Amino acid sequence: MKDLRKDSVVMLEVGDDAAGQRIDNFLLKIAKGVPKSHIYRILRSGEVRVNKGRIGADYRLQLGDQLRVPPIRTAERPDQAAVPAREFDLAFEDDALIVVDKPAGTAVHGGSGVSFGVIEQLRRARPQAKFLELAHRLDRETSGLLVVAKKRAALVKLHDQFRDGQIGKRYLALVKGRWLNQMQHVKLPLYKYLTEGGERRVRVSDDGKTAHSIVRLVSRWQNFSLVEVELKTGRTHQIRVHLAHLEFPIAGDDKYGDFTLNKDLQKTGLKRMFLHSTKLALPHPLSGELLELESPLPPELASFIAKLDQNEARDIKPTQR
């Protein structure tokens, strides 16, 4: 990518990685650190041209478009050099997408007090990659399957598939208490809000957005249950809030969980939230071929289950899911 900080106009030709993207989002991406207000000002003023003509901020770039960008003064980003390159364990990769097996404790992207995440580390590890973008999100403390697009066409299709419910997503969660139903549909609307300290939270509320989870019992002990949760919608903190609202908080959940229990669990070896993205089933965004991917419980969660078996008797054994 050419340096937009120079004192001269830059001419760019739109390739596969940018085709279909809105011009405003494209400029915000290539001119990181520039205020949005400045990007929209140069668009309104006509300083940005496509094929020698003026365009609006909602114009979608086409393959081969000739883009004129005026010089844009951006602040240097010293923190960029601090992003360490990292390759992650992968469940799948081809020329269209990567499915990362994300470890707990790693954010999917930088922001909200986090300098970098999976996507920044992947880009640093793969400087030759022209396009790497998250197709969805996982909470920082949630481990498991995370989809990254390697082509814009794949990203657009994946977004459509997630929105239309074409992608099957299943998670394993260990909850406090004895879950009784073999299968239960949970349909409780969720409302996002900010705490007085500015932290993002979610609660069940009639004013919220529709949210649907299907909870299946996998195993049960005297004081805990292992459940598999299938998401039919993808709201923020959906599994965590649905289970906590039903008085089955996830073990180790530091936002919606049982905080006294969490302290005891830390002493016995569970030092993270027990929530793992274990299965994905999706039509390949370009070929349409069905992909069925699975991630086993990571060692720290599997070892805690083993300790639980030592301390408490199971009355329901693991079944084929």
3-state secondary structure of 262: helix
pLDDT for 3 beyond 70: no
pLDDT for 35 equals 80
Whole-model pTM?
Answer: 0.78
DSSP string, 229-260: EEESS--TTHHHHHHHHTT-PBTT-TTTS-HH
For the ranges 109-113, 127-131, 148-152, 214-218, which has the lowest average pLDDT?
Answer: 109-113
pLDDT (tens digit per residue) in 190-209: 999 988 877 889 999 999 99
Work out the mean pLDDT of the chain and round it to a whole number.
90
Counting beta carbons within 10 angstroms of the beta carbon of residue 25, is it exposed (0 to 12), middle (13 to 18) or buried (19 or more)? middle
139 noted as active-site residue: yes
- Whole-number Å distance between alpha carbons of 291 and 92: 9
pLDDT for 123 equals 93
Are 15 and 63 contacting, i.e. CB atoms less than 8 angstroms apart?
Answer: yes
DSSP string, 22-34: BHHHHHHHHTTTS
pLDDT for 319 equals 54
Q: What is the mean pLDDT of residues 107-132?
A: 87
Q: What is the mean pLDDT of residues 50-62?
A: 90
For the ranges 93-102, 103-112, 119-128, which has the lowest average pLDDT?
Answer: 103-112
Domains, the chain, ranges and CATH?
10-69 (3.10.290.10), 90-311 (3.30.2350.10)
Plot region of 192 (φ>0 → left; ψ -120 to 50 → alpha; else → beta): beta
Are 20 and 60 contacting, i.e. CB atoms less than 8 angstroms apart?
Answer: yes
Catalytic residue among 65, 139, 253, 258: 139
Q: What is the mean pLDDT of residues 216-235?
A: 96
Question: 67 vs 110, which has greater pLDDT?
Answer: 67
Report which residue type is found at 144: G
